[in-house]
Structure 1
Amino acid sequence: MKRILIILGVIVVLLVAAIVAVPFIVPKSAMTAYVVGQIESATGRKVTVGAEPEFSIFPEVKLSLSEVTLSNPEGATTENLAEIGSADIEVDLIAALSGEVVIQKFVLIDPIFVVEKDKNGRFNFEMGDNTRTSDTGSPATGGGGAGGIGDGLVLSLNDVRLENATLVYFDATTGERQEVRGFNAALSLPAIEGPFDIEADAEWRERRVALVAHVDNPLALTKDGSTALTATVSNDDMFTVNFEGTAQGGAVPEGAGKAEVEVSDLAALLAWVDVALGPDVKLPSTVAISGNMTGSPEKVAIADAVIRFDQNTLTGNLSAGLTGGKPYAVADLSSEALDLRAYLPEGGSAEGASGSGGSGQAGGSSGWSDEKIDLSGLSAADADIRLRAGQITTGIVDTGKTDIAIVAKGKRADLTINELALYEGNAAGSVGIDMRNEVPAIAIDLNVANVQARPALQQLADYGDLLGTVNLKANMTTRGDTERKLVSALNGTGNLTITDGAIIGYNLAAAVRNISTGGLNMDYDSSEKTDFAEISASFTAKNGLVNNPDLKMNAPLLRVTGAGDIALPPRTLDYRAVPKLVASLTGQGAGGERGLSVPILITGSWDNPSIRPDLEGVIKGVLESPEDAVKNVQGIVEGAGKGGVKGVLDAVTGGGSGSGETDAAPADETEPENPAAGAVKKLKGLFGN
């Protein structure tokens, strides 16, 4: 027995000695030529090795190479598919003798890998027809039989690294070129069943991105199975993505689990990945998204999502992906409150006017802008988004309960307003923007009910001198890419009513009454106002000219009708209002009441309109029908009743209030039996008779 053990010992020593002696017996150049020949035979590509390799077998098989190249196929834009500065490989010999592949070290330093797709869609790494034949002439699978990759294979990766690698991608069909530099990676796989760990970082477009990932059983992914996966991708300046869940192998790999995304600089991130939005598009500074994610290379969806951007929070479900290279998003989201003021164009918010100073006139003197409105951001992605909120603050229009939907597809975007609570009322309707032609087209269908005029106008137009409850219906279209073009192409119809309100700054009844003094005083006075029961009007717009044929206002002692044009492009007015003094203190149901009419012409610019009495129209009416004029005055008197004549006449003509003339009867005289006679006298005096 002892002899047998001695013989076996001698054999082992001789084997070890033979293994150690191999590198010295077999020339390194011969070994290099053999390895190079095998690689060239398998790939059909030329392989070069620079300096003489370093090689040893015991106790580990070690191979060190430098200046290694693998050529590209003919027609490629670069000479080589791969260039490696140096490579160090160590394999555990003892483990190999027992049937295990234990890679103690595999380090590539300064490698450059170039992936190209030619104009026919073929990649440069495709070697022949990607098959080889076995000794029997049938295609070899290169795997471990029907069981798939890894069957019967014992593999261990200890120190596997890439240092300062460069990855280049070029697509000849599109001309796209991408380059990743400074790619470093460290991999660990103690066994083929896992676990697998990787830490990597690289520079793309002058920013470094880091990856840390752990896979419980990578072998399961090769057999269309699933395994636990955790991963973190981050850039210190812009974003962090965390995932914890499972990964599913297959022709289309999938993942499912808890995902968290935090973006610290959204604008920089979008610019980094070449997502171009219009210059007028303003973005949140920070964004965070978390939820239960399912994802594949084509689509990512997050259920029970929580989205935070700046100080705002949204919850709901969303998904996104790419269709034909264009991103799309689908979302159904809700929020208790949103503050969007920071994301709207500068100058979009209007501070509310107090209504207690200044001229009280709305509108500026700057005119319409000719600056081009960039709507390209609306076509950057397709979208189908539903948003519900308890309130939304924009600084332009602030809303209460909100339910809106936005659908953008191709070069068309549609906003549907299902519910919009604003200024104590509600609005519903739709806005469509069509950018399929060179000039954008816009269509608006709006229905506003019970909105309070003063807070709405204060915020929208910096005008706070109109009170009342507004109901509005409008159906309008326009087209253009500047403010001026949009107002110049406005077409459509609508109608408006304002009830139970007041006009602050003007007493219209007193202004009409004071015509008898020789002028029409329409100066703004915040202490004055005109109460009214209702204002109603319809309008038609044609190429920016808005026509109103039927203005009506019912107020105590006053009825007003009107008609005229508002020209939007030049911002001018050409309007004739006909106020009528009546003897009724009520504002409703007075359409048939008689009274004294004094037409008023409102013309000129919005900023400085001319407001003057249409005396020519008054005289013409009296001369054409003097009897009707007398009856109108008599109607006022009779409506006031006996004892109220003087007050009505004063209201009509300014008698007793600075007119320079009075019809007050002396104390010792009685009132005339026919009160209309005094009214006729006043009427004649008004026209100089």
Structure 2
Amino acid sequence: MRWIIRFGVGLAVLVLLGLGLLAMVPAERVAAAVSAEFESMTGRKLTLTGEVTPRLWPSLGVTTGPVSIANADWAETEAPLFQAEGLVIDINYGALLGGSVQIEGLTADRPQIVLERDPDGRESWDFGAASGADGTGGTGDAAVVPAAATPVTLDKATITGGSIRFIDRQADRVIALDAVDATLAIPDLAGPFTLALTGLASGKPVAMDLTGGVFSAFAAGRVVPLTASLTTGGSSLSFDGRAGTAPLVAEGALVADLGDLPALGALIGSTLAAPGPGLGRDRLTATGDLTLDGTGAVFLRGATIVADGNQLTGDLDLRPGEARPKLVGQLTAGPVVIGTGSAEDGGTRTGSAAPDGWSEDEIDVSALGALDAELVLVAPSVSVGGMTLGETRVLVTLDRSRAVTEIRQMAAYGGQITGEFVVNGRGGLSVGGKLDFASLDLQALLRDVSGYDRVVATGDLDLRFLGVGNSVAAIMQSLEGEGALELGRGEVRGLDIAAMLQTLDPAYIGDDQKTAFDGLAGTFTIAEGVLSNRDLKLVAPQLTAAGAGEVDLGDRTLDYRLRPTALAAADGSGGVMVPLLITGPWAEPRFRLDLESIAREKMEAEARAAAAEVEARAKAELERRLKEELGVEVAPDESLGDAAVRGAEEALEDETRRLLEDILGND
């Protein structure tokens, strides 16, 4: 605002100086003289086209035709810094006779203002960067428009139907305001000033009101008392404290209602998505003591953040970075609830709230790229999508759209969770983690995560996983990973395996049926959303079982084969073994005794026994012939082949010895 005030007031004074010449000098020469004086003072070319018309009634003033002020010579944009279809300036005649300039009105008709900051931080509205008053090109207030020798006040400066563009090449963003109407009042240079502005940012209404202390000090960049309020869409911010502009510093109380983040993002030239339930979908506010230290850093002390029903308190620091700002802070929360999984929340819960499958709604993680972060969060309890956790302490690190949540402490389902969880928004969305669950109530965990509650036990689970996709369904169908499960004493509800084996009747299924066990363990791998297990072991009072099969996590179906053995002897031998097939959707699985496999295995066993009997008879016949025909006894640890070779070798030796004896005897 300072630059607008300076060149606006300077322009008004210069035009005013030409009023006395207008009666004697043509308007073109007056415009040329004013333009030359403005360029000498600022280093920027002022162009006045059309007539400069004086007005003596009903008030003293002047009206110009189209006017423009050149942008900095280094600016990439070709648009002027300022251009308007005309200016109307009204002067208080009585004050002028008294030796002061009181501008009753300064109106710019449909002005277009284009501001630019280059990658090195140069600002096109800094006139001192272009040319000093002495032509040396110096910087600072001494190189800007000098104060008028005559005291000047501005009752009201008005912009109607204007537009403002701020091209920030350092941050690679554009801030745009259209349909701008603004009013600035400076009744006394040594007193307070006010600014009221309305406009549109990406079609959303914007309104700002600002009241400052001593204008002359503020125009010079010094710190003065300041109150400000900003409203855009459904968001509003207010500040009450002190502020200055050279450099930008502030200290005071901040109250922010961020109920419309997309509108706020449109205003500041960024894309901000609407948060989900528990993260501020229905309510998002922040209050605290705000400090800007002049380096671009922002500090919020004693902050209170309310996101829907969640409240967090602590301190936050937002510091500028090379590519994006970084948020650092420590927050303490009350009970935190993020997404209840109800139908009102869009069915985000992964369990029984979505019986037909995982949600295919696109997950928007674009907000991860807005800044980097390092946040410590402490909460007595956390509920995420229906999954309930106890006392929690986590460190969240956000770097280039990749968020890593390091779990330092997390009580859950009667046990503890440690490890880390990763949400990666670089070039799409992927999620992964390394999680260790110790002494967890598995029934409660599975019920909240998947809607499956038939396993009642306490145990340990190690899980490593990675999924890629822009929806829960896509992620579940792409999962890769591995893990191990070990449970203590518990039960599987819905079927009685021991009764099935004793009666060979698969009808022992229902809510009143269960299979108790003393322990269950196994390992698994996950590929393309399908969990595979080959080494499940179950030990129960009346049976033991081994299992293998697949669980399709993407389609939420089972294809599993359990081989239980019931009524076994004390040494584990004997008993009845009938494979149990578990298939279908895991919400309503089907159980079937695989009697066909028993018959098949019996036939295979009989065939193996018959083959063994034939082999035994053939072996006995061979042994008999070796003994009777060759006189060879087969040793206990000797094969028939070895015995036959040995017998042949011994017979050959005997025949060779006999022939030698005959030859030697004949001689």
Same fold (TM > 0.5): yes
User: How many residue pairs are counted as aligned between the two chains?
Assistant: 571
- Cα gap change, 1:152 to 1:106, in 2 (>3 Å): closer
Answer whether contact 1:61 1:93 (CA < 8 A) is retained: no
The Cα of 1:200 is off from its aligned counterpart by 3.6
Matches within 5 A, 1:75-86: 81-86=82-87
Q: Distance in 1 between matches of 2:133 and 2:196?
A: 37
Amino acid in the other structure paired with 2:389:
T
- The residue number in structure 2 matching 1:300 is 298
Structure 1 CA distance for aligned equivalents of residues 22 and 477 of structure 2: 89
Residue pairs, 1:481-492, within 5 angstroms = 481=470, 486-487=475-476, 489-492=478-481
The residue aligned with 1:341 is 339
Q: Distance in 2 between matches of 1:69 and 1:322?
A: 37
1:255 to 238, 244, 250: 250
CA RMSD of aligned residues (A): 4.5
Q: Alpha-carbon deviations, 1:467-512, whole Å to 9, x = none?
A: 1113111123344456666455543332112223222222222111
2:594 matches 1:612 = yes
Please give the per-residue CA displacement for 1:162-196, whole angstroms capped at 9, x wherever unaligned.
Answer: 1415134375988958343242213124243x333
Contact 1:577 1:601 in 2 (8 A): yes
Change (3 A) 1:255 1:349: same
Match of 1:505 in 2: 494
Alignment partner of 1:458: what SS? helix
Aligned to 2:458: 469
CA distance in 1 between partners of 2:146 and 2:176 (Å): 33
Task: Please say if 1:549 is aligned against 2:537.
Answer: no
How far apart are residue 397 of structure 1 and its match? 0.8
3-state SS of the aligned residue for 1:464? Answer: coil
Helix, strand or coil at the partner of 2:594: strand
Q: Report the equivalent of 1:600.
A: 579
Q: What is the CA–CA distance in structure 2 between the aligned matches of 1:488 and 1:601, rounded to whole Å?
A: 27
Amino acid at match of 2:212: V
The residue matched to 1:556 in structure 2 has which SS? Answer: coil
Matched to 1:394, the amino acid is: V
- Corresponding residue of 2:198: 201
Superposed displacement of residue 608, structure 1: 4.0
| Residue 433 of structure 1, CA deviation | 3.6
TM-superposition CA deviations, 1:358-415 (whole Å, max 9, x none): xxxxx96x56777765544443443333322222233431222122232222242222
Instruction: Report Cα offsets for 1:510-559 as digits up to 9, x if no partner.
Output: 111112xxxx3254222222222221222233454533333222222222
**Secondary structure of the equivalent of 1:39?**
helix
- Change in 2 beyond 3 A, CA 1:527/1:425: same
Pick aligned residue for 1:386 from 376, 379, 385? 376
CA–CA distance in structure 2, aligned partners of residues 83 and 430 of structure 1: 57
Q: 1:166 aligns with which of 118, 140, 162?
A: 162
Say if 1:175 and 1:48 are closer, same or farther in 2 by CA, change over 3 A: farther
The residue aligned with 1:54 is 55
Alignment counterpart, residue 537 of structure 1, candidates 522, 526, 536: 522
Determine which of 238, 242, 248 is the counterpart of 1:246: 242
Change (3 A) 1:49 1:55: farther
Q: Which amino acid in 1 is paired with 2:83?
A: A
1:40 aligned to 26, 29, 35, which one?
35
- Determine the structure 1 residue equivalent to 2:109: 110
Task: Kindly report which structure 2 residues correspond to 1:13-24, keeping only aligned pairs within 5 A, or say none.
Answer: none
Distance 2:307 2:138 in 1: 55
Does residue 213 of the first structure (1) align with residue 203 of the second (2)? no
- The SS at the match of 2:503 is helix
Kept after mapping to 1: 8 A contact 2:362/2:470: yes
Task: Determine which of 208, 224, 227 is the counterpart of 2:224.
Answer: 227
Tell whether the 8 Å contact from 2:394 to 2:405 is kept in structure 1 after alignment: yes
Alpha-carbon contact 1:49-1:65 (below 8 Å) kept: no
1:209-251 per-residue CA deviation (whole Å, 9 max, x = no partner) reads 333333333444566643322222235x52332212222453x
Work out the CA distance in 1 between the residues paired with 2:139 and 2:56: 31
TM-aligned CA distance change 1:378 to 1:610, over 3 Å = farther
Which amino acid in the other structure matches residue 23 of structure 2? Answer: K
Q: Deviations over 1:425-479 (max 9, x none)?
A: 221211224454x565443211111221222222222223221113111123344
Counterpart Cα distance in 1 of 2:149 and 2:309: 54
Aligned position for 1:402: 392
Preserved contact between residue 412 and residue 434 of structure 1 (Cα < 8 Å): yes
SS of corresponding position for 2:346: coil
Q: CA deviation at 1:307?
A: 0.9
**Whole-angstrom CA distance in 2 between matches of 1:25 and 1:550:** 102
Which of residues 284, 297, 312 is equivalent to 2:310? 312
Does residue 420 (structure 1) correspond to residue 410 (structure 2)? The answer is yes
The one-letter amino acid of 1:185's match is T
Matched position secondary structure for 1:284: coil
TM-score for the superposition, normalised by structure 2: 0.72
Which amino acid counterpart does residue 115 of structure 1 have in structure 2?
V
Q: Which amino acid is the alignment partner of residue 190 of structure 1?
A: D
- Offset at residue 293 of structure 1 (A): 0.7
Tell me, in whole angstroms, the C-alpha distance in 2 between the residues paired with 1:207 and 1:85: 27
Is it true that 1:528 corresponds to 2:507 in the alignment? Answer: no
Which SS does the other structure have where 2:388 is aligned? coil
Tell me whether 261-270 or 371-380 shows the greater mean CA deviation: 371-380
Aligned partner of 2:510: which letter? Answer: D
Structure 2 stretches lacking a partner, 5+ long: 1-16, 40-44, 610-667
Equivalent residue number for residue 651 of structure 2: none
Cα contact 1:76–1:118 (8 A) shared by 2: no
**Equivalence for 1:65:** 63
Distance 1:306 1:553 in 2: 51
> Matched residues in 1 for 2:501 and 2:334: separation?
51
Answer whether contact 1:181 1:204 (CA < 8 A) is retained. Answer: no
CA displacement, residues 318-352 of structure 1 (integer Å, 9 cap, x when unaligned): 24466467465334222111222269962222677
Corresponding position of 1:455: 444
The corresponding residue for 2:627 is none
Query: Aligned with 2:567: secondary structure?
Result: strand
Cα distance change on mapping 1:474 and 1:501 into 2, 3 Å: same
1:401 to 1:70, Cα distance in 2 relative to 1, 3 A: same
Q: 1:625 to 1:71 in 2, by over 3 A?
A: closer
Cα gap change, 1:85 to 1:542, in 2 (>3 Å): closer
SS in 1 for 2:501: helix
Distance 1:466 1:213 in 2: 63
**Distance in 2 between residues matched to 1:24 and 1:407, nearest whole Å:** 64
What is the DSSP-based 3-state SS (H/G/I as helix, E as strand, rest coil) of the residue aligned with 2:51? Answer: coil
Structure 1: 5+ residue runs without aligned partners?
A: 1-21, 354-362, 585-591, 627-689
Describe the shift of the 1:346–1:126 C-alpha distance in structure 2 as closer, same or farther (beyond 3 A). closer
Q: 1: CA distance between counterparts of 2:139 and 2:497?
A: 96
Q: Distance in 2 between matches of 1:501 and 1:142?
A: 78
Identity between Structure 1 and Structure 2 (%): 19
Aligned to 1:559, the other structure's residue is in SS state strand
Looking at structure 1, the residues matched to 227 and 305 of structure 2 have their Cα atoms a distance apart, in angstroms, of: 21
Distance 1:144 1:421, change over 3 A: closer
Cα distance in 1, alignment partners of residues 563 and 332 from structure 2: 48
